[in-house]
């Protein structure tokens, strides 16, 4: 797919959202009903990927601040995270950015757009360095957890394996290497 014909814009109160529909009704509703409100209240920033030739929204994603915090019930996960961090820099919490929403228009599904979006996010936080951020996190829908796994994310715990969403993380140091 030719991603060069796409443009990324940050949603504003004046943005006219172009046609968009994905398979998850909750994600459609967020874009059209909630994204501008979340932006206004400084709760999340939403970005649109648009195909100007086709006059549609190809995908969107929302980002918000997060952190990964030590939980004594999940020492094995914490040990795994700390293995990649030098001893003097280890902490009880680490800066992260949460992908609050990520959705691809059903017209573009299965064409690598989701991976393109994730790689763009990873690139932005490892090269622009406007914010200290070691990890990306996401509460992945069960239907999306395989997609995130294929893109290098790991499950944080098995305690949520029977839930509708699973907490997953990606170590941005893996993208820098």
Q: In whole angstroms, how far apart are CA 98 and each of 5, 52, 122?
A: 27, 28, 12
Per the structure, the complete domain to which residue 133 belongs is given by: 3-176
DSSP structure class, residue 18: P
CATH assignment of the domain containing 16: 3.40.630.30
pTM of the model: 0.91
**How far apart are the C-alpha atoms of 171 and 175, rounded to whole Å?**
8
User: Strands, DSSP E only, in 13-164?
Assistant: 45-51, 56-69, 93-104, 135-141, 154-155
pLDDT of residue 16: 96
Q: In degrees to the nearest 10, what's the CA dihedral of 170, 171, 174, 176?
A: 110
Taking 80 as the threshold, does the pLDDT of residue 123 lie above it? yes
pLDDT in tens, 32-56: 999 999 999 999 999 999 998 999 9
Q: Which pair of structure tokens corresponds to residue 63?
A: 């980002």
- Total domains in the fold of the chain: 1
**How far apart are the C-alpha atoms of 111 and 58, rounded to whole Å?**
11
pLDDT in tens, 165-174: 999 999 998 8
Report CA Rg, the chain. Answer: 17
Name, of 22-26, 79-83, 153-157, the range with top average pLDDT.
22-26
Q: Which helix (H) or strand (E) holds 121?
A: helix 113-123
């Amino acid at each position: 797919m030719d991603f060069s014909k796409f443009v990324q814009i940050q949603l504003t109160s004046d943005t006219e959202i172009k046609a968009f529909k994905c398979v998850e009704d909750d994600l459609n509703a967020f874009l059209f009903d909630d994204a501008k409100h979340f932006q206004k209240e400084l709760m999340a920033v939403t970005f649109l990927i648009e195909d100007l030739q086709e006059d549609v929204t190809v995908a969107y994603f929302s980002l918000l601040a997060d952190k990964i915090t030590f939980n004594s019930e999940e020492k094995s996960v914490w040990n795994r995270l700390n293995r990649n961090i030098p001893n003097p820099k280890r902490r009880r919490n680490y800066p992260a950015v949460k992908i609050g929403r990520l959705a691809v228009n059903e017209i573009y599904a299965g064409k690598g757009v989701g991976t393109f979006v994730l790689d763009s996010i990873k690139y932005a936080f490892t090269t622009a360095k406007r914010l200290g951020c070691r990890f990306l996190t996401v509460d992945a829908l069960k239907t999306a957890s395989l997609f995130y796994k294929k893109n290098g994310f790991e499950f944080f715990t098995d305690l949520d394996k029977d839930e509708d969403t699973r907490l997953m993380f990606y170590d941005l140091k893996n993208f820098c290497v």
